Structure 1
Amino acid sequence: MRRKTLLTLLTLLLVAGTVLAGCGSKKEGEGSGSSKENTAAAKEQVLHINLSAEPPTFDPAQAQDSQAHTVLNMMYEGLVRLDENSKPIPGVAEKWEISSDGLKYVFHLRKDAKWSNGDPVTAKDFVFAWQRVLDPNTTPAPPYAYQLYYIKGAEDFNGKKTTDFSTVGVKATDDNTLEVTLNNPTPYFLGLTSFYTFYPVHQSVKDNAKWSADPKTMITNGPFTLTTWTTGQKIEVSKNANYWDNKDIKLNKITMSLSNSGATELSSYRSGQLDFAGMPNGEIPTDQMPAVKKELKDELDLKAVGSIYYYQFNVTAKPFDNAKIRKAFTMSINRQDIVDKVTQSEEKPAFGFVPPGIAGAKDEFRTEHKDDFFTENMDEAKKMLQEGMQEEGYTTLPPVTLIYNSSDKHKKIALAVADMWKTNLGVDVKTENQEWGVFLKNRRSLNYQIARAGWSPDYNDPMTFFDLWTSKSGNNDVGFKNPDYDALIKDAYSSADNNKRMEDFTKAENILIKDQQVLMPIYYYTNVALLKPNLKGVLIDYAGGVDFTRAYFE
């Protein structure tokens, strides 16, 4: 009898899920929730959302995940913030000047910017925060310290080549003026200052190591303040009366449940307990997508975004310290089947690392440089596996485990991929789900063999996809070190020639994906979100990031 694959079974479950979802549901085209609920929401201006994982930290220097990003964006504001077109507009800085050579930025801070306790937000607060990120003695080491390497002297200070922070190109010339000097012209630097690693931090934190875990000591400068954090249950932020643009903040409160169950999230949305469901902080069950597309089509926001879903190999762990074995695993899955039969959200199979939608020299990078770094080829994959095993002296492959953070979607993808590896390579792979904080810790400490991963850009330039794999990056959690790769990224950092930069990135992607196969691209994300009809002002950017700060109910 022919073996029935797991993917076939998943397809049958999807059909069954669609039928079950239709039982007792609303008629086609009818929205969820009642007019009474909508009226109450408009009166109370309280937004209810879900986070599929609890943020490990609310310290801007230590954050590195989308869950923390969403909440930090509610509570803090950088020198600039991004508008509905992802363009930088005034934040704490009301205006700025950029020198003709692109190296010097002078930011003028608004005098009415205040911390939630009433203290003025000053240029010295930014200097303090950035020094804290770059200080090599900060524990644990901030993963995004390298994002500040654009600043003159920042890398040398972070790398302990100097202990004198005055050599770093950031200076408060007075309480409301911040001067920043860069190593090289960086067109996207202004937008980068909206990223959470660049947020100011109240200087009281230097005396309290646990400040970011207690609402009582979380002094913030953004539209909302942290008022409740019940571990494993609920996070709540409330409108900040001292925020300079308080008059334009219409929500009084945002409450966040904490559940990694997509089924629970969708059920809560249908019943009116949630006003927003789905990405980037939650998920809609893959087996419910057909029903959602049919029944909630007027509330569904489905669009391609510049982010990628992939698996990564720990190149220091056996058997994945062998590039041929990594290539065999990468070539032996069917990405189109995964997006058609498992995720069902119109994603595109990925054969490179930079997604469509990211800027290139004149057009999109992916349009100018195709993602054809490898192909799916089961016969070649078997050959690669045998050659790799022979090089390592294996008669059988060592046990292999794939880890992923707890999520229905990640589980279904992991099971489908593991089944493909079994069918196409004859390799048994154990799949293991882990709680978000544990999962991140294991990745950072290289305590894994294969791990699920996803990357959303921090700014619209290919650099954000490549600088995280340099040997000095705090986000490099695959153990990859390659001097040729580092040199290409360094050249791209320093070059003012955008065409040359894009060629450097293509060569780097060639090393990362084709030559070394450090990563296993699976698909380019589609953002899948449900919004109640009277919820307005939610911004979902080109990368799939979400900004709730100017949201409101009408």
Structure 2
Amino acid sequence: MKKQIKKAIVSIMAAFTLGSLAAPMTSFAQEEGELVPEYKATYLTDPTSLDYTFSMRDINTNHTVNFIDGLYENDQYGNYIPAVAESHEVSEDGLTYTYKIRPGVMWYDMNGNEWAETTAHDFVTGLQHAVEVQSEMLPIVQNSIKGLNEYINGEITDFAEVGVKAVDDYTLEYTLTKPEPYFNSKTTYGILYPINQEFLDSMGADFGSLSPDSILYNGPFLLTNLTAKSQIEYVKNENYWDAGNVFVDTVSFTYNDGSDPEVFYRLYKDGAVSFFTVQPNLPIYKEVKAEFENEITQQRRQGSAFLLQFNMNRIKHEATGKSDDSQHEDTHSAILNKKFRQAIMFGFDRHTYMTQLFGEEFADTDIRNTLVAPEYVNVGEENFGDATLRHLQEMDPELYGDVNLEDGQDGFYNPEKAKKLIEEAKAELEVDGVTFPIQIDIPVLETVPLAVNQAKSLKATIEESLGSDNVVINPVLLAQDPYLAATFNATVAAEVDYDFTNESGWIPDYLDPSTFLDIYHPKNGTFLVPIGFDPILQEGAEDPYAEARKESGLEEYGTLVDEANAITDDMDARYDAHAKAQAWLTDSAIAIPIRTGGSLLRVTNVVPFSGPYAFAGTGGQRFKFMKVQAEPVSKEQWQKAYDEWEAKKIDASSISGEKEEAGDESDSKEETQEESKEESEETKEESEESKEEETSEESAE
């Protein structure tokens, strides 16, 4: 949906691209069945770009991370281990990162023909290209790398003055603007991936287009087929520098529009997919449960967050249930009113909404109440969620006095509060001539029954809580192409066509709360377009949406985020300042978290915890290390693998900061946080399933 999903991700189409596949490291002893050399899944949404330095969307990065190696990658415990880099050193002041490039990592074309060696110069080329194409990922590093922001703004015209330098073919140096103990986690993301300059010149504007020959490959797989709404296929790169850790020979995705949620069970039975999601609300659930009673396992909650997100500045009104312009104007005024948005937040019954996917028994397991996971980091003796609640209660003790921000339960649903807030909002808005009821359009992918049912649930609970004489939710049913055009594929504010959407999600890019909170920064936040504003990438540039941007209150939020990000010498103070920004965002109700994108029931053949785990970034979307077995994973196999994984994963509390030797797998304080967020990490295996599901059946979620 880093990846708009880190990537921004679409909950129904991308909810499952979150994780990558499971892959065992040699040090991890676990039981596994007879292995098979193929991984098979379905997908719902075609990629839109293969330019891995440009796109941050899951529908693209889910694939490209398997074709390209960056400096570091993730092992199964979330450690950052050397890939193209053999090691790295950090200067005493924390500002200079020097990477030693591994000799002999070669570039190949789609047919496996050798092209050139990957060198330090390729990383410089990659970042410069990302700036030239105005990468969606620029905010990840724009203010991190010295001189990069000035180059983007035109204050520097020579890229050689930016803080990335190839000292020689095998030595790469980054100079930062301020210390970032989590910088190494950013190296697994496409914005810092390499590009061969000669190949880039030869391709010109066609680099990264939707053709397997538009990029070179230095990673574990080669893309061999990309046919729209049909098939995506890749094969193992037999000449890959670390081919011994690639355990599947082929990966294939077959297009499925999601219209028949029971088809995935049949596909699994026919051997056409490597897993399927179990939905308790489907008519076949009893049959599935009887047949796979000992093989149905559940993912753990993940680090991602899926949101109910308002468009604060809607410009396009083609996908609508409204009848005239006055209704559009009234809706715009209402959405800019904080009490109106808060009324929606307290009137939305997440439990009932989640039963559409999980059934009554498991409905609460995946609920999230904050953008940043509550246990993402610790603030002294508090976790991040506790610190956020403290700040919320300081802001408004009456409204937030009984709120609970923990995962796994609905911390906000309160019809009594919702009714009080809507009456207060109504009184304020009617003074300005606003007429009720307010009509709110929500786009819905009509081919996916789950999407339709969730929209109906959302409509029913909000209208019941607030009164249909006050608010009417209009589910606007759309075919896939117009749906994507109005939502996920809209790249400028003028093309975003909804009042709010339940199909936006975010996966953290790196191990710091800023990876979440920066996405709503009023100048260059990644989620500005989905809420109606184009980023302001250059200082002093004219802003056609200045008035609405100011009315949104995001300038105050931006100040809070900037203040938090400026603190680099006291992590407790930094994280507490981030918690204050999270509290502002929660109180604003511009984006209302719904779920984490995990917790799904499934039957899978992927060996538990065999693949890379990454709480942040795209490293967990790789198929390297993953193993697939011939028979479904049993509950006993999964539990044993989980217990062993849990026992061996790094103790977060033992990590005090980044080590100077990159070869040390615990080289980053970020891992500290990553482990505190253990609950959303559910192993690679689960993430991997989530990945596919999102891509496919769960995308049909």
TM-score, length-normalised on structure 2?
0.67
Counterpart position of 1:10: none
With over 3 angstroms needed to count, the CA separation of the structure-2 counterparts of 1:286 and 1:323, relative to structure 1, is farther
**How many angstroms does 1:53 deviate by?**
2.0
Pair 1:339-2:354 in alignment: yes
Pair 1:145-2:138 in alignment: yes
2:247 is matched by which residue type in structure 1? K
With over 3 angstroms needed to count, the CA separation of the structure-2 counterparts of 1:325 and 1:103, relative to structure 1, is same
1:410 is matched by which residue type in structure 2? A
Which of 60, 83, 102 aligns to 1:110? It is: 102
With over 3 angstroms needed to count, the CA separation of the structure-2 counterparts of 1:422 and 1:481, relative to structure 1, is closer
Counterpart position of 1:211: 207
Among all aligned residue pairs of Structure 1 and Structure 2, give the percentage whose two residues are the same amino acid. Answer: 24
Counterpart position of 1:22: none
Counterpart position of 2:165: 171
With over 3 angstroms needed to count, the CA separation of the structure-2 counterparts of 1:236 and 1:341, relative to structure 1, is closer
Q: Partners in 1 of 2:139 and 2:386 — Cα distance?
A: 28
Counterpart position of 2:576: 503
**How many angstroms does 1:466 deviate by?**
0.3
Counterpart position of 1:451: 501
With over 3 angstroms needed to count, the CA separation of the structure-2 counterparts of 1:248 and 1:526, relative to structure 1, is closer
With over 3 angstroms needed to count, the CA separation of the structure-2 counterparts of 1:339 and 1:151, relative to structure 1, is same
1:365 is matched by which residue type in structure 2? F
Counterpart position of 2:376: 358
Q: Partners in 2 of 1:190 and 1:69 — Cα distance?
A: 19
Which of 236, 240, 265 aligns to 2:233? It is: 236
CA contact (8 A) 2:99 2:172 kept: yes
Which of 428, 432, 437 aligns to 2:472? It is: 428
**How many angstroms does 1:411 deviate by?**
2.9
1:548 is matched by which residue type in structure 2? F
The secondary structure found in structure 1 opposite 2:205 is coil
CA contact (8 A) 1:108 1:177 kept: yes
**How many angstroms does 1:342 deviate by?**
4.5
The secondary structure found in structure 2 opposite 1:76 is coil
Counterpart position of 1:324: 339
Q: Partners in 2 of 1:76 and 1:429 — Cα distance?
A: 43
**How many angstroms does 1:379 deviate by?**
3.3
With over 3 angstroms needed to count, the CA separation of the structure-2 counterparts of 1:356 and 1:258, relative to structure 1, is farther
Pair 1:402-2:439 in alignment: no
Pair 1:267-2:266 in alignment: yes
Counterpart position of 2:669: none
1:276 is matched by which residue type in structure 2? F
With over 3 angstroms needed to count, the CA separation of the structure-2 counterparts of 1:297 and 1:486, relative to structure 1, is farther
Question: Counterparts in 2 of 1:490-529, with a 5 A limit?
Answer: 490-496=562-568, 497-514=570-587, 516-528=588-600, 529=602
CA contact (8 A) 1:333 1:420 kept: yes
CA deviations 1:14-51 (Å, max 9, x no partner) are: xxxxxxxxxxxxxxxxxxxxxxxx96x72xx1211222
2:207 is matched by which residue type in structure 1? W
The secondary structure found in structure 1 opposite 2:413 is coil
Which of 384, 387, 390 aligns to 2:421? It is: 384
Counterpart position of 2:193: 199
CA deviations 1:428-468 (Å, max 9, x no partner) are: 21213553742213475333210121222122321111011
With over 3 angstroms needed to count, the CA separation of the structure-2 counterparts of 1:407 and 1:69, relative to structure 1, is farther
With over 3 angstroms needed to count, the CA separation of the structure-2 counterparts of 1:360 and 1:404, relative to structure 1, is farther
TM-score, length-normalised on structure 1?
0.84
Q: Partners in 1 of 2:606 and 2:240 — Cα distance?
A: 28
Q: Partners in 2 of 1:380 and 1:197 — Cα distance?
A: 44
The secondary structure found in structure 1 opposite 2:174 is strand
Of the structure 1 ranges 46-55 and 495-504, higher mean CA displacement relative to structure 2 is found in 46-55
Show structure 2 runs of 5+ residues with no match: 1-32, 315-331, 393-399, 404-411, 534-551, 630-701
Q: Partners in 2 of 1:553 and 1:395 — Cα distance?
A: 58
Show structure 1 runs of 5+ residues with no match: 1-37, 279-283
CA deviations 1:381-404 (Å, max 9, x no partner) are: 234334434424222234321124
The secondary structure found in structure 2 opposite 1:304 is coil
Q: Partners in 1 of 2:449 and 2:505 — Cα distance?
A: 16
Counterpart position of 1:419: 460
CA contact (8 A) 1:305 1:357 kept: no
Of the structure 1 ranges 144-153 and 159-168, higher mean CA displacement relative to structure 2 is found in 159-168
With over 3 angstroms needed to count, the CA separation of the structure-2 counterparts of 1:188 and 1:205, relative to structure 1, is same
When the two chains are superposed, the root-mean-square deviation of aligned CA atoms in Å is 2.7
With over 3 angstroms needed to count, the CA separation of the structure-2 counterparts of 1:503 and 1:361, relative to structure 1, is closer
**How many angstroms does 1:290 deviate by?**
5.5
The secondary structure found in structure 2 opposite 1:352 is coil
The secondary structure found in structure 1 opposite 2:295 is helix
With over 3 angstroms needed to count, the CA separation of the structure-2 counterparts of 1:440 and 1:339, relative to structure 1, is closer
The secondary structure found in structure 1 opposite 2:598 is strand
Q: Partners in 1 of 2:464 and 2:83 — Cα distance?
A: 53
**How many angstroms does 1:418 deviate by?**
0.9
CA contact (8 A) 1:57 1:63 kept: yes
2:507 is matched by which residue type in structure 1? S
CA contact (8 A) 2:289 2:296 kept: no
CA deviations 1:261-289 (Å, max 9, x no partner) are: 143333312332101345xxxxx545249
Of the structure 1 ranges 396-405 and 210-219, higher mean CA displacement relative to structure 2 is found in 396-405
Counterpart position of 1:4: none
CA contact (8 A) 2:42 2:273 kept: yes
Pair 1:251-2:243 in alignment: no
Q: Partners in 2 of 1:350 and 1:537 — Cα distance?
A: 27
CA contact (8 A) 1:125 1:201 kept: yes
CA contact (8 A) 1:50 1:277 kept: no
CA deviations 1:145-186 (Å, max 9, x no partner) are: 011121111122223332222221111111111100111111
Which of 260, 270, 295 aligns to 1:298? It is: 295
CA contact (8 A) 2:366 2:599 kept: no
The secondary structure found in structure 2 opposite 1:499 is helix
CA contact (8 A) 2:340 2:425 kept: yes
Q: Partners in 2 of 1:76 and 1:449 — Cα distance?
A: 38
Q: Partners in 2 of 1:158 and 1:293 — Cα distance?
A: 55
Q: Partners in 1 of 2:497 and 2:101 — Cα distance?
A: 44
Counterpart position of 1:26: none
With over 3 angstroms needed to count, the CA separation of the structure-2 counterparts of 1:226 and 1:488, relative to structure 1, is same
CA contact (8 A) 2:388 2:580 kept: no
Pair 1:59-2:51 in alignment: yes
**How many angstroms does 1:535 deviate by?**
8.0
**How many angstroms does 1:249 deviate by?**
1.6
Aligned residues: 504
Q: Partners in 2 of 1:297 and 1:270 — Cα distance?
A: 16
Q: Partners in 2 of 1:277 and 1:356 — Cα distance?
A: 29
Q: Partners in 2 of 1:404 and 1:198 — Cα distance?
A: 35
Of the structure 1 ranges 186-195 and 403-412, higher mean CA displacement relative to structure 2 is found in 403-412
CA deviations 1:131-150 (Å, max 9, x no partner) are: 12223xx2xx3221011121
With over 3 angstroms needed to count, the CA separation of the structure-2 counterparts of 1:293 and 1:485, relative to structure 1, is farther
